[in-house]
A and B are shown apart, each in its own frame.
Chain A
Amino acid sequence: MITLAQKLISEACGSSRVTTGEIVVCKVDLAMIHDSGGPRRVKPILERLGRDVWQKDRVAVVTDHYVPVESNETEAIQKLTRQWVHEQDIKHFYDQQGICHVVVPERGHIKPGMFCVGGDSHSPTGGAFGAYMFGIGATEMAGVLVTGEIWIKVPQTILISWQRQLPAYVTAKDMMLATCREIGMGGGRYQAIQFAGEAVHDLSMQERMTLSNMAAELGAQAGLIAPDEVTAEFIRATGAVLPANWKEYAIETAGEGDEALYYDASLLAPQIAAPHSPENADNAEAFRNTAFNLAYIGACTGAKYVDLAAAASVLKGRKIASGITLKVAPASLKDQNRAEAEGIMQILEDAGAEFLANSCGICAGYGADRLAENDVCLSSTARNFKGRMGAASSQVYLASPYTVAASAVAGTMIDPREVAEG
């Protein structure tokens, strides 16, 4: 029985059958790059090689890391990015529209059956659409841009199946933090994870993207989800054409010798991960009365439309506690506009939220908005390594937008059900 990973790779390398561990060379359908690892790094390499981009309509460029522009250095990076896009006549350029992992799917670029690479470690996000997508560095991206090809070692599949249904106020972020605790940040062994089971197919597309995105936190190369009607509807709604054969990719199986893990979604509680690793996760209840001063709803895994809506459902008619600052950086302009139209942004503002740009923001720690010395942040982002979001003395706890919002109201970390249902 062929796995989804094997089917996607065998089609991309033009071989009828691939074997686990074999190194094959695949043709790339889409290469996504951003302002940090993109043009400023690949331009000199392309010049040295004397080559241009292999196919202009197979490249998507997004500015999201050095946004907003706040120094001469970052202004120069954005200028270089725009010039390169113009020189190379790149067809898909999204300038300050939000984070690449959210913007590229929302514009209909990722579909079942595709083989894609991204110049960012959270590129497994594309796997939520039944595409094989993984992150690479800038030199390797330059290689893809000039050849349209990349080598890959055919991975095993690690099937992570979530049976039954999630309780209310328990989300994809909680599923991933719990999985980080269970198998560790190296547990994905740079193989292909496939998320499966009833609780996964019950999720909205954006929640599924959070699962696939955080396959990176498990050390997997890819985080695949078999496409279904939810996937199809999301792609149709972007205005893109759904491939006629998309149901061929609705494969949800582990292969011979592969690993399969089964979890009961109905038993999962909201999670919080302590500094400085996502694998330091436990039930939110275990962190009761842990003090913090900054609540952050941001990033590709934590500030999409569904995340803003989740936070607003808790914050409606409530105010954040004194001593807490709540910062919200909606993951894309499109999601922010939708939240605005539905009154969600107003609810967040009324509760006391401050808004940041549609960019990687504090999560990447690249800009002026960073954590200060001794800040303790409860964050809806994916990664809480020491010093990542600011000062080395700062501490970051990870949780779902429900948990971040509820804790901001309570003034201390709390299981969101105590606030929402209290």
Chain B
Amino acid sequence: MGRIWQFGDSIDTDVLAPGQYMKSPLAELAAHCLEAVRPEFAAEAKQGDIVLAGNNFGVGSSREQAAEILKFLGISCVVAHSFAGIFYRNAINLGLPVFILPPKDSLPAGLVDGASVSFDFDMASISLTAHNKHIQLEPLPSFLKDLIIDGGLVPHLEKRFAS
């Protein structure tokens, strides 16, 4: 259970993980996550919250801290109409679930900033608590789903090397 943090199109990696703080420890970088567009986000995001965004989420740099700090802040998954390719790969490699939303016109009206939601990774769905509505997300290919279940690429490789 958590709330929705809604963003528009083309949220870039400089806004997610500002270059100025890239040399700093993760907690400090995370404190500045999205501050240019949503100053209260880093301080108020809680475990189980969901980021909902438009097109091309994570556009820009290859810095994986953009995905890592969302996970660090407790975000349980990012759902968007589309993702920038490198961000999408990074999120999966770090074990942060990322899902593609169905087309805009098929989404319920209650799917807005601040709404209470729960997320079911296995079913690839989110539920709007107040409206009793389920939104089916595009399922991940099994190859990528397994990576996330393992907790990301590093635990996945640990498992592979151990066997």
Which of B20, B37, B55 interacts with A186 by CB under 8 Å?
B55
Query: Are A387 and B15 closer than 8 Å at their CB atoms?
Result: yes
Q: Is A135 on the interface with B (CB-CB < 8 A)?
A: yes
Minimum Cβ distance to chain A for residue B10 (Å): 6
Q: Is B76 an interface residue (CB 8 A)?
A: no
Alpha-carbon separation in the docked complex, A140 to B152 (Å): 10
Contacts of B88 in A (CB 8 A): 190
Contact B84 A190 (CB under 8 A): yes
> Chain A residues with Cβ under 8 A from B157's Cβ?
49, 143, 146-147
Which segment of A246-254, A264-272, A329-337, A363-371 sits at the interface? A363-371
Chain A residues positioned under 8 Å from B19 (CB to CB):
364-366, 388
When distances are taken between beta carbons in the complex, the residues of chain B under 8 Å from A64 are none
In whole angstroms, what is the CA distance A387 to B90 when docked? 22
A1-43 vs B, Cβ < 8 Å mask (1 yes, 0 no) = 0000000000000000000000100000000000011000100
**CB <8 Å contact, B62 and A392:** no
Whether the Cβ atoms of B86 and A137 lie closer than 8 Å is yes
A347 interface hit (Cβ, 8 Å): no
Contacts A37-B63, A74-B23; is A140 near B153 (CB within 8 Å)? yes
Q: Does A277 contact B (CB under 8 A)?
A: yes
- Known A-B contacts A66-B23, A137-B89, A366-B19; the reply to A383 vs B154 at CB < 8 A is no
> Are A143 and B153 also in contact (CB < 8 A) when A137-B89, A185-B56, A277-B10 are?
yes
A387 touches B10 (CB 8 A): no
Give Cα A226–Cα B154 distance, bound, in whole angstroms. 36
Is A186 within 8 A of B82, CB to CB?
yes
A73 to B28, CA, bound (A): 14
For A50, the closest partner residue in chain B by CB is B161
A373 smallest CB distance to B (angstroms): 13
Q: How far is the CA of A50 from the CA of B86 in the complex (A)?
A: 26
Q: Which residues in A have their C-beta under 8 angstroms from that of B101?
A: none
Supposing A73-B23, A388-B14 touch, asked if A139 and B61 sit within 8 A by C-beta, the answer is: no
Distance of A201 Cα from B10 Cα, bound (Å): 32
Give the contacts of B67-91 with A (CB-CB under 8 A).
Answer: 67, 82, 84-86, 88-90
Whether the pair B93, A137 counts as a contact (CB closer than 8 A) is yes
> A49 contacts B14, CB within 8 Å?
no
Distance (whole angstroms) from the CB of A392 to the closest CB of chain B: 5
Additional A-B contact list (5), CB under 8 Å, known A23-B143, A140-B64, A185-B10: A49-B154, A121-B13, A137-B64, A219-B56, A386-B14
Q: Interface of A with B (CB < 8 Å)?
A: 23, 36-37, 41, 45, 48-51, 66, 71, 73-74, 77, 119-121, 123, 135-140, 142-143, 146-147, 151, 185-186, 190, 219, 221, 277, 364-366, 370, 383, 385-388, 392
A-B contact pairs, 22 of them (CB 8 A): A48-B158, A49-B158, A71-B23, A121-B62, A135-B86, A136-B90, A137-B64, A137-B86, A137-B89, A137-B93, A139-B93, A139-B153, A142-B154, A185-B59, A190-B88, A219-B59, A219-B85, A277-B10, A383-B60, A385-B12, A386-B36, A388-B19
